[in-house]
């Protein structure tokens, strides 16, 4: 676990990277990148689907009617927006608020996983189908999973994953709103449990052992002197050194 100040600086670096992102075509139509907002030390993290028109204009997640409902539900359990961190699967608005496409999700998910790694939340609430399916790696829909917590490893971080209905879906359906409210009431108890056991850190490869020094060979007795020749052979003229042309580094295997 990195110190809080170091994690914040690293999170800012991820934000700076996301602001310039061109990994998918959404960068051509966005007004601004909606990275996320809240406490960098939050124990509770919410992950929605994608920014809408208001979010795209303001650069903040959940600032419309769904965001107001989220704030209200947080207040009912004694929390406010500054206590949590809110993000989306996509950091850029899809045109016309259409559903995220597979290529966009694939291009953007690295930012989300690094957010989870650096914020180190205890509980992650996935809001709706897209974030639930992405973080679980499973196609099961939200209607079967809402309100059921489970331990999941996201990147290198183990968290308590808690799927919830998306507030936008509950705005005009009283029965769904009451279900969402009841699920929210379980959050304080989940946070009290603390994070699940973390996966072991990857083992470092051992350094290669130094090769054993070779034993010196025993000294050989001096060779007997050759008998004197009757006639000395004529001396050969000295040959000039052969010049070896220098080769490019790539040809020498140096990259």
Residues sharing a CB contact under 8 Å with residue 126, sequence separation 6 or more, in sequence order: 47, 132, 134, 135, 136, 142, 161, 162, 163, 164
In a domain, 207, yes or no: no
pTM score of the predicted model? 0.78
In a domain, 152, yes or no: yes
DSSP-derived secondary structure letter, 60: -
Which position has the token pair 């079967």? 144
Which position has the token pair 């060779």? 223
Alpha helix (H) ranges present in the chain?
A: 4-19, 53-58, 65-76, 102-119, 129-136, 142-145, 167-170, 174-184, 187-193
In a domain, 240, yes or no: no
Name the residue with higher pLDDT: 247 or 198.
Answer: 198
Range of the domain at 125: 4-192
Percent of the chain with pLDDT over 90: 75
200: pLDDT strictly greater than 80: yes
* Rounded Cα distance, 127 and 147, in Å: 11
236: pLDDT strictly greater than 50: no
* Rounded Cα distance, 191 and 206, in Å: 38
In a domain, 87, yes or no: yes
Average pLDDT, stretch 130-143? 95
**Element containing residue 158 per DSSP (H, E):** strand 157-161
Q: Is residue 242 helix, strand or coil? A: coil
What does the block give as tokens for 131?
């974030």
In a domain, 180, yes or no: yes
Name the residue with higher pLDDT: 139 or 236.
Answer: 139
Q: What is the CATH number of the domain that holds 119?
A: 3.40.470.10
pLDDT in tens, 151-166: 999 988 999 999 999 9
In a domain, 251, yes or no: no
In a domain, 103, yes or no: yes
When divided into structural domains, the chain yields a total of: 1
What does the block give as tokens for 70?
């989220």
In a domain, 199, yes or no: no
Paired residues of 150 in beta bridges: 161
Write the CA distances from 90 to 26, 32, 84, 220, integer angstroms.
Answer: 10, 12, 19, 76
Which position has the token pair 């689907």? 49
* Rounded Cα distance, 176 and 80, in Å: 22
* Rounded Cα distance, 140 and 28, in Å: 32
What does the block give as tokens for 135?
């973080």
Residue 152 main-chain phi, psi, to 5 deg? -140, 145
Percent of the chain with pLDDT over 70: 79
């Amino acid at each position: 676990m990195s110190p809080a100040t170091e994690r914040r600086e690293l999170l800012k670096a991820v934000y700076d990277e996301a602001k310039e992102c061109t990994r998918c075509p959404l960068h051509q139509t966005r007004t601004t990148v909606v990275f996320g907002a809240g406490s960098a030390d939050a124990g509770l993290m919410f992950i929605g689907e994608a920014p809408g028109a208001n979010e795209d204009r303001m650069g903040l997640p959940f600032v419309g009617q769904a965001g107001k409902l989220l704030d209200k539900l947080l207040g009912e359990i004694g929390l406010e927006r500054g206590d949590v961190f809110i993000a989306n699967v996509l950091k850029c608005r899809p045109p016309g608020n259409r559903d995220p496409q597979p290529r966009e999700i694939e291009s953007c998910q690295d930012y989300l996983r690094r957010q989870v790694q650096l914020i180190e939340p205890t509980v992650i609430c996935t809001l709706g189908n897209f974030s639930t399916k992405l973080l679980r790696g499973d196609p099961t829909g939200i209607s079967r999973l809402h309100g059921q917590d489970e331990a999941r490893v996201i990147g290198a971080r183990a968290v308590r994953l808690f799927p919830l209905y998306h507030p936008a879906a509950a705005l005009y359906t009283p029965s769904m709103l009451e279900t969402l409210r009841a699920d929210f009431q379980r959050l304080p108890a989940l946070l009290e449990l603390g994070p699940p056991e973390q996966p072991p850190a990857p083992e470092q490869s051992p350094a290669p052992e130094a090769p054993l020094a070779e034993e010196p060979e025993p000294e050989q007795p001096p060779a007997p002197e050759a008998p004197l020749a009757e006639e000395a052979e004529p001396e050969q003229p000295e040959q000039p050194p052969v010049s070896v042309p220098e080769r490019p580094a790539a040809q020498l295997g140096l990259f």
